[in-house]
Amino acid sequence: MNITTSQAQGRVPVTVVSLKGDLDGSNYQDLIAKAKELYAAGTRHVLLDMTHVPYMSSAGLVALHSIVQVMRGDQPPDPQQGWATFHAVARDSSSMQQHVKLLNLQPKVDRVLQTAGMKEFFEAHTDLATAVAAF
C-alpha cells in the first residue's frame, strides 16, 4: 500500500492521508506507524482518503481504530494481542469519531465496516471539500 499525505484547512487543520492499495495484514501496521508519526508532528485531525482502497481486511479495522486512539492521544491496543484487540474495538465503537473521518469508501470496504458494526463509528464523505469542512 502507498500512503501519501497532504494538508487542508477547514475550521481546523486537517491532514489528508491518501491510501492506495489493499489495507490488510501485510501493511496495516505501516498505517498505524504513519498515524503515530503525524500525531508526533502535531496532527490532530485526519481524513483518510479511501478512494483507491478496493479491499480492507479485519486488520484494516484494527488500523482504523488505532488511528482514532492515536489522534485522541491514547495508546492503541497491541495488535499482537489477537482477539483482545477486536474486543477493544468493539468497546470503543459506541460514538461517532471527531478526529478521524473517511472519504470515498469503496463498496467492499463499506461492507466490511458495515459487517463489523463500525459504519456508525466513522463519518464518511464522498466530497473532499465537504469532508474537510466537517471537522
Condensed to tens digits (0 to 9), the pLDDT of residues 102-115 reads: 999 999 999 999 99
Residues 79-129: tens digit of each pLDDT? 666 555 555 555 555 567 889 999 999 999 999 999 988 888 899 999 999
Q: How high is the mean pLDDT of the chain?
A: 90
The set of residues, in sequence order, having a beta carbon less than 8 Å from that of 37 and lying 6+ positions away, is none
pTM to 2 decimals?
0.88
Phi-psi region of 77 (alpha: psi -120 to 50; beta: other; left: phi over 0): beta
Q: Are 49 and 83 in contact (CB under 8 A)?
A: no
Given CATH 3.90.1150.10, say whether it is the number of domain 2-133. no
Q: Are 53 and 21 in contact (CB under 8 A)?
A: yes
Residues 26-44: tens digit of each pLDDT? 999 999 999 999 999 999 9
- Listed residue (106, 131, 124) closest to 23, CA to CA: 106
pLDDT at 97: 81
Determine the distance from the C-alpha atom of residue 64 to the mean position of all C-alpha atoms in its chain, rounded to a whole number: 4
Residue predicted with more confidence, 12 or 75: 12
What is the residue whose three cell numbers read 490488510?
A: 24
